[in-house]
Chain A
């Protein structure tokens, strides 16, 4: 993990630029507070708007919240390992899981964005 790079913030920035507006921003912010405990940063319940695309994107962003929480957890594990309270294999496992979750979140956001782009390029 590299200090100073928040993947959630980066992806959110990209999304809000793409969308032109950010109605989902308010939903994302509570999960990105650095150092927040995994339990405390529980995501707001998903609200269905009835617009399928917005719902899919909302879900994708919710999964980014999950990545943020598992990143916090992996960071805490590194700290406990340095203090001799965690095993090395647990730290590595948490990081491996986080990396897969990160790929999943990025893949779902990219898929949603690609779908959106395809719709905007539709000839009417």
Chain B
């Protein structure tokens, strides 16, 4: 209903950024993980985002008003593995070293994760700012006398 939808869209953005942040935290935590359940070192994980379809009654209301476009917000469509190759480090004493003495390390780059983290936290803030601006608009409407 009306302006409420803008609030829900902002909340979906907040949720998507929070989930992205979970993946970044997992990537940083596993930066030296050399063995996983799947075998081999940890693979960097990335979230794929998609726009949320508008619900049926919202679409109906939009059609009645001849207003099309927009989305119902954003959501995490999939969590995929980063396919870049693992860097190899010569460390023959390591239990996970191969026959040549090389250890495969996770394809996580700390600098990339840190920049992503700053970006995601700024996006999170941006969604909160949008939410608050919408709420301010609703409160301003109530000033109409």
Which chain B residues border A90 with CB–CB below 8 Å? 11
Query: Is B4 positioned at the interface, with any CB of A under 8 Å from its CB?
Result: yes
Interface of A is mostly: helix
Chain B, interface size category, equals 10 to 19
Q: Closest approach, in angstroms, between the C-beta of A112 and any C-beta of chain B?
A: 13
Q: Closest approach, in angstroms, between the C-beta of B138 and any C-beta of chain A?
A: 5
In-complex Cβ contact of A111 among B8, B11, B131, B145 (8 A): B145
In-complex Cβ contact of A104 among B8, B15, B142, B145 (8 A): B142
Q: Is the CB of A96 within 8 A of B135?
A: yes
Q: Interface size on A (CB < 8 Å)?
A: 11
Query: Is A87 positioned at the interface, with any CB of B under 8 Å from its CB?
Result: yes
Bound-state CA distance A100–B141 (Å) is: 10
Given contacts A93-B131, A111-B145, contact A100 B138 (CB under 8 A): yes
Q: Closest approach, in angstroms, between the C-beta of A67 and any C-beta of chain B?
A: 13
Give per-residue flags for B104-144: 1 if the beta carbon is below 8 A from chain A beta carbons, else 0. Answer: 00000000000000000000000000010001001100100
- State the total of A-B contacts with C-beta under 8 angstroms: 25
Given contacts A87-B15, A89-B11, A89-B15, contact A96 B142 (CB under 8 A): no
A43-90 residues at the B interface, CB under 8 angstroms: 87, 89-90
Which chain B residues border A107 with CB–CB below 8 Å? 142
Interface residues of A (CB under 8 A from B): 87, 89-90, 93, 96-97, 100, 103-104, 107, 111
Excluding A89-B11, A89-B15, 7 further A-B contacts by CB distance (< 8 Å) are A93-B11, A96-B135, A100-B135, A100-B138, A100-B139, A103-B139, A103-B142
